[in-house]
């Protein structure tokens, strides 16, 4: 078989928290056939299969008694181009940010607000990743996934994916689908999203009055670099908690005591609150216990200062959750997948 299995492999290089755990078995799949082979091998050995991409949405709390399969397929292609709307397809193993930069180099608009998000293309639909007013669902056309129960390929259109805030069918059905490639509808016509967060202010400060998609991407890269630690330097998985959706009445009760509450209208009688604001107001920003901590510049980010275990990081997250629930009556939801 072309797939190479390795035994007792450290997963430290394959998770952005830099947590030191071992996989019982490890392999990398670059083709659909290798994915199928990995599934067959896991079944033959009587163990589960855990697919990973860039490891940027994982918290590993113990050694993994499974076959860890790194999705490593590569390939970018234009499927349709009518001069304005362009459909592109990317293999699951393509790193996300280089894919965004490739799309900009083709003169395409649509992904610029999602610049500098870590991870891979295949993992992006799982969480319906989003930033600065844009989510995957806004540019999504379809994807090809392997049904792990039947071994058959299935095509998913937008309406079949059940995309929601940091959620999708693929997250709701863990262990069912392996995403192989994803398709996006981009545009040669500028339709920029500038009014979420400090994007417009950053562009104006740089003297850019009529920005291009590349200008927006550069501005967002600068903003993210200032706010979020580089996982190569300081282990982290980006935003650790989802921004909670709460009833308007609860938000107003909190605002009565905290006039600077950060919130965004979410429709249907709900408001989205900034989880980072809640955590910072509760005094956790910059907290450190051993090598597990909360980033000093962004309270939404848990960090590994060196040798923190996944269990220590999870214990810290649970303490924060309990404190926010006690203070504000809000149950924060963890964003990364816990294994």
Same domain, 82 and 38: no
CATH number, domain with residue 269: 3.90.78.10
Q: Is residue 301 part of a domain?
A: yes
Two tokens at 310? 């996944």
Q: Is residue 158 part of a domain?
A: yes
Between 12 and 195, residue with greater pLDDT: 12
The secondary structure of the chain in percent helix, strand, coil, rounded to multiples of 5, reads: 30, 30, 40
Q: Give catalytic residue positions.
A: 166, 239, 335
What is the per-residue pLDDT across 21-40, written as a single tens digit (0 to 9) for each? Answer: 999 999 999 999 999 999 99
Distance separating alpha carbons of residues 100 and 37, to the nearest angstrom: 30
The pLDDT assigned to 36 comes to 95
Count the neighbouring beta carbons within 10 Å of the beta carbon of residue 252.
Answer: 13
Report the percentage of the chain scoring pLDDT > 70: 100
* Domain termination residue (choose one: 201, 227, 253): 227
Same domain, 217 and 328: no
Same domain, 82 and 223: yes
Mean pLDDT over 154-165 rounds to 96
The pLDDT assigned to 322 comes to 98
Strand pairing of 337-338 and 58-59? parallel
Same domain, 97 and 183: yes
Mean pLDDT over 319-338 rounds to 96
Mean pLDDT over 67-88 rounds to 97
The pLDDT assigned to 111 comes to 98
Mean pLDDT over 39-44 rounds to 95
Same domain, 45 and 99: no
Asked if pLDDT for residue 1 goes beyond 60, the answer is no
Q: Is residue 111 part of a domain?
A: yes
Q: Is residue 137 part of a domain?
A: yes
Band of the pLDDT at 62, cuts 50, 70, 90?
very high
How would you label 145-175 residue by residue, b for 16+ Cβ within 10 Å and e otherwise? bbebeeeeeeebeeeebebebbbbbbbeeee
CATH number, domain with residue 100: 3.30.465.10
Asked if pLDDT for residue 47 goes beyond 90, the answer is yes
Mean pLDDT over 101-128 rounds to 96
Two tokens at 110? 């649509």
CATH number, domain with residue 61: 3.30.43.10
Same domain, 212 and 267: no
Same domain, 81 and 216: yes
For the chain, the domain total comes to 3
Helix (H, G, I), strand (E, B) or coil at 7: strand
Distance separating alpha carbons of residues 50 and 175, to the nearest angstrom: 8
Band of the pLDDT at 329, cuts 50, 70, 90?
very high
Same domain, 290 and 153: no
From residue 281, how far is each of 254, 259, 262, 276, 308 by CA, in Å?
12, 12, 11, 8, 25
What is the per-residue pLDDT across 182-238, written as a single tens digit (0 to 9) for each? Answer: 999 999 998 899 987 789 999 999 999 999 999 999 999 999 998 889 998 999 999
Two tokens at 169? 């069918």
Same domain, 80 and 220: yes
Mean pLDDT over 311-328 rounds to 98
Same domain, 177 and 223: yes
Same domain, 82 and 221: yes
Same domain, 49 and 177: no
Asked if pLDDT for residue 259 goes beyond 70, the answer is yes
Q: pTM, whole model, 2 decimals? A: 0.90
Q: Which of 60-64, 148-152, 193-197, 326-330 has the lowest mean pLDDT?
A: 193-197
Q: Is residue 320 part of a domain?
A: yes
Mean pLDDT over 151-174 rounds to 95
* Domain termination residue (choose one: 227, 262, 295): 227
Q: Is residue 1 part of a domain?
A: no
Q: Could you tell me the residue range of the domain that residue 298 belongs to?
A: 235-338
Q: Is residue 103 part of a domain?
A: yes
Asked if pLDDT for residue 252 goes beyond 90, the answer is yes
Please, what is the average pLDDT of the chain? 95
* Domain termination residue (choose one: 227, 247, 263): 227
The pLDDT assigned to 195 comes to 84
Q: Is residue 162 part of a domain?
A: yes
């Amino acid at each position: 078989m072309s797939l190479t299995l390795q035994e007792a492999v450290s997963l430290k290089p394959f998770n952005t928290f830099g947590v030191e755990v071992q996989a019982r078995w490890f392999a990398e799949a670059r083709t659909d056939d290798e994915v199928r082979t990995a599934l067959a091998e896991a079944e033959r050995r009587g163990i589960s299969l855990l697919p990973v991409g860039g490891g940027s949405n994982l918290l590993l709390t113990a050694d993994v008694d499974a076959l860890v399969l790194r999705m490593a397929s590569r390939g970018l292609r234009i499927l349709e181009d009518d001069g304005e709307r362009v459909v592109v397809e990317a293999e699951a193993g393509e790193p996300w940010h280089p894919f965004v930069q490739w799309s900009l180099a083709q003169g395409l608009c649509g992904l610029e607000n999602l610049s500098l998000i870590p991870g891979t293309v295949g993992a992006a639909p799982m969480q319906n990743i989003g930033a600065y007013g844009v989510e995957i669902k806004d540019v999504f056309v379809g994807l090809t996934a392997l049904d792990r129960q039947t071994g058959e390929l299935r095509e998913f259109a937008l309406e079949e994916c059940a995309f929601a805030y940091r959620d999708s069918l693929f997250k709701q059905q863990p262990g069912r689908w392996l995403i192989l490639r994803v398709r996006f509808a981009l545009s040669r016509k500028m339709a920029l999203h500038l009014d979420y967060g400090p994007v417009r202010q950053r562009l104006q400060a740089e003297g850019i009055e009529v920005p291009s998609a590349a200008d927006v991407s550069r501005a967002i890269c600068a903003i993210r670099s200032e706010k979020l630690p580089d996982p190569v330097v300081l282990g982290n998985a980006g935003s650790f908690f989802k921004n909670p959706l709460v009833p308007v009445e609860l938000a107003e009760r909190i605002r009565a005591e905290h006039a600077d509450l950060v919130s965004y209208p979410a429709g249907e009688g709900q408001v989205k609150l900034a989880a980072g604001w809640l955590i910072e107001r509760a005094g956790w920003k910059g907290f450190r216990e051993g090598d597990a901590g909360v980033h000093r510049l962004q309270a939404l980010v848990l960090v590994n200062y060196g040798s923190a275990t996944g269990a220590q990081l999870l214990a810290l997250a649970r303490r924060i959750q309990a404190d926010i629930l006690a203070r504000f009556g809000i149950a924060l939801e963890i964003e990364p997948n816990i294994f």
